[in-house]
Chain A
């Protein structure tokens, strides 16, 4: 049972436009969500996170929106740049848990075309 789902395996966007990456979760115990970016043959790098007490968090070109009732979050990148091309993983955690476990989605490959 996949608790974190990224239903779009890939997304292609024109440079300068907005990229919207979506993520759904099923476990109601999740209360902390993160987005990671990953290039081929490299480890993921942290992008942005959001706690369930918020519905939006913004950091530069990156904004994460959380809809708790729908168990849905999205990452907006605006404006998109070719260097943003990578696989984006959504991850979720139960901050009340004692071992900091993250559950990852399968990732979405974002391609930003010049």
Chain B
């Protein structure tokens, strides 16, 4: 089946630094990928929609200059958290669509801790 590989699974960084999270589709081409953020005991909140070869579409309230998304190929989307602050600490998850909703496959997530 379709697999989405997300790395790293866990990262700790210092305030003010930037962190890049990668999301790769391993055996299919993902034209569209989504980036979610989840706080403890909260829902998955959609941050942005990443489309290959074009600019990402950000949800209301998400700072596009802080959360840089690049979808340069059909198998790779990256999320860079720039100038990270402790309040950016969260669980970030990517997902990709193949052709149907059942093919809406999630990565394993990245636990970001900013100290």
Residues of A at under 8 Å CB distance from B?
Answer: 2, 4, 9, 32, 34, 36, 41-46, 49, 89, 93, 95, 99-107
Q: Does A43 contact B93, Cβ atoms closer than 8 Å? A: yes
**Chain B residue at smallest Cβ distance from A42:** B108
B101's contact among A4, A41, A100, by CB below 8 Å, is which? A100
Contact between chains at B42 and A93 (CB < 8 Å): no
The DSSP consensus for interface residues of chain A is loop
Chain B contact residues: helix, strand, loop or mixed: strand
Which residues on the A side are within 8 Å of B62 (C-beta)? none
Q: Identify which of B6, B49, B101, B102 contacts A43 (C-beta below 8 A).
A: B6
Cβ of B32 and Cβ of A102 under 8 Å apart? no
Please give, as numbers and ranges, the residues of chain A lying within 8 Å of B104 by CB-CB distance.
34, 46, 100, 102
Q: Given A41-B91, A43-B6, A43-B106, check contact A100 B97 (CB 8 Å).
A: yes
